Amino acid sequence: MSDDDHIENPGTPQGGTAATPAGPQPEEIRFFGTTWVDHDGGYGLRRAGVAVGSLAAAAAGCFVLRFAYEGLEIADIGGFVNLLVVVMFAICSAIAFRKTWEGFGSRPADPAREEALRGLKAIGFIGSLLAYFFRSLVEAPGERLRRAEYETARARYEKRRDARTGNPSARRKPKRR
């Protein structure tokens, strides 16, 4: 045998297989990975970071929108247009907040409609950022949904695995008459 026959993957145990547990794997959450499963790996710090970051980004967004509004004031295009811009951003932010908040609790029933709302959510980005802020005070955004899906998948996997335990070749064959 040559030395090439004994090359193993450096990231695997001696047996050559990865140490990935059998069954369904948890879905990663943005900024958290899979630390939400056991609340390890700096989970609390990540939650605090997401809360502070989303609030800071929302504040910066408000600051930018203030400059845009001042630009409209300088252009002297009229009070009606200024009012329309403010109302448009307020409505878009409210809708973006609601849609983002709903997305933490359930998967969208109609993904095509969610895709169509992408532009509206981009305009109302402050609402989405505030939804992230408020949710991260309680849990990782989307954790409750992912945990419920993961536990359901684990339960199904355990039930299937328990139903097929044993060595099929060791089973006794029924006697023929």
pLDDT band at 59 (very low <50, low <70, confident <90, very high): very high
Segment among 4-18, 21-35, 79-93, 99-113 with least mean pLDDT:
4-18
Cα 130 to Cα 135: distance, rounded to the nearest angstrom = 8
pLDDT band at 92 (very low <50, low <70, confident <90, very high): very high
Averaged pLDDT for residues 67-85: 89
pLDDT band at 86 (very low <50, low <70, confident <90, very high): very high
pLDDT tens for each residue of 118-173: 999 999 999 999 999 999 999 999 999 999 999 999 999 888 877 766 656 555 66
pLDDT surpassing 60 at residue 4: no
Averaged pLDDT for residues 54-70: 94
The tokens describing 142, both together, are: 């989307």
Tell me the DSSP string of 31-87: TTBTTTTTT-SSHHHHHHHHHHHHHHHHHHHHHHHHHHHHHHHHHT--HHHHHHHHH
Neighbour tally for 135: CB within 10 Å: 23
Averaged pLDDT for residues 81-99: 94
Supply the pLDDT for residue 12.
Answer: 41
Q: What is the pTM of this model?
A: 0.75
Supply the pLDDT for residue 162.
Answer: 76
Supply the pLDDT for residue 79.
Answer: 84
The tokens describing 62, both together, are: 């408000």
pLDDT surpassing 50 at residue 48: yes
